[in-house]
Each structure stands twice: as C-alpha cells, then as structure tokens.
Amino acid sequence: MGIDIKRLTPELSEDYLYFFDNTPHSTNKPEHRCYCVCWSSKDCEGTDFSSAEKRRDIAKEYVRDGNIQGYLAYVDNKVIGWCNANTKEDCYGCVSWKMFMKPVKEEESDIKIKSVLCFAVSPEMRGQGVATQLLKRVCEDAKEDGFDLIEAYPNREFTSTEDDFMGTISMFEKAGFIRCYEAGNKTVMQKALKV
C-alpha cells in the first residue's frame, strides 16, 4: 500500500473537507465533525464553532488563508489521514489551545517551534502506520522550513484512539522525540531539528 503525503494547500481544500465530511469521529455523529478548526493560527475570539455546518464554513476560510496547516495522507487518490501541524506561537489564540493547553509553556524566544496538534485517520486505515508517516513528513518539512524543533503533546496515559488524537508517547519516542515535562494531563515532547 503506497501512502502519498501532501501538504495542505487551498487547492486541496475540497479533499480536506470531504475527509472531514466522511470520516467518523468519536461519537460517529455528524454534528460532532470538527474540521480541525479549533487548532489554527486564527484567534478564536468571537468565532461561532457551535455546529458542524459553521465549522465546515470556517474550515474553508482557514484553509484558504493558511490558518489551518498540516498534511493529508492519500491512498489511491483518496484522503485517509490528516495531521495538523502549525507554528506554535501562532496558535496561542486558538480555541483548543485556550481550552486544553494552559499548562504548556508559551515560548517567548527566538526558537522557532512547529507544534504537532492533531491526527485523524480513517477507521479502516488505523494501525497501518499512517500517523507515523504523516509525522515523518512533518519533521522533514519543518527542518527544511527552518524550524529549530518540533513539539508534541500526547496524553500522559493512553485512553482511546479518539481521546488520544494528539498522538501517543510511544509513536513520538520512536520518531526521536524526548519527554521534556508534564503539563496537566499532557506530556510535552520535543525533537531538535538543528544540531
């Protein structure tokens, strides 16, 4: 099985939307589709995320404007996976950062950090290394794009595939990340890109 990884661009917005339109979430209810809009570089102040339809419309805008960044995984020209990876300091105003990441240190330095924020994989493709391949591409491109390090925020203890959408400690360790500190129920892990 050949997996093709593509960086999200406005030209791929229909593929992105189709993936979220058709990929089950934890409850498998259409009204819970997230479109990953809560992890973005757009400040969430005043934005209404209350329905799947509103989140879908927001996703169109965010993809067009580059506020959602990440990678799509394809098999036979069909999207089967997604990884949200954005510049850390650009995400402090997004709704998910404000809700889940309060204990994580917000950097105020010249260090350029790429944050790995979310993975979504089609149920039939889970357990086949899709997230690992997405992470590998994030690391390669982040190094090429001049980032100093990559940071990830897996749960300290694995609960379920749906609850551990930020990846697992073991996956990041296999990719060369080290545990840096604990922040609430998260383990902050980093991988240096510059030697």
pTM here is: 0.92
Query: What pLDDT sits at residue 195?
Result: 62
Which two three-digit tokens encode residue 121?
A: 């994989």
Specify burial of residue 167 (Cβ count, 10 A radius: 0-12, 13-18, 19+). buried
The predicted pLDDT at position 59 comes to 95
3-class secondary-structure state, position 95 = helix
Can you give the pLDDT at residue 153?
Answer: 94
Mean pLDDT by 10 residues, the chain (195 residues): 93 96 72 85 90 93 96 96 95 90 82 94 90 97 96 84 78 96 92 85
Contact 39, 86 (CB under 8 A): yes
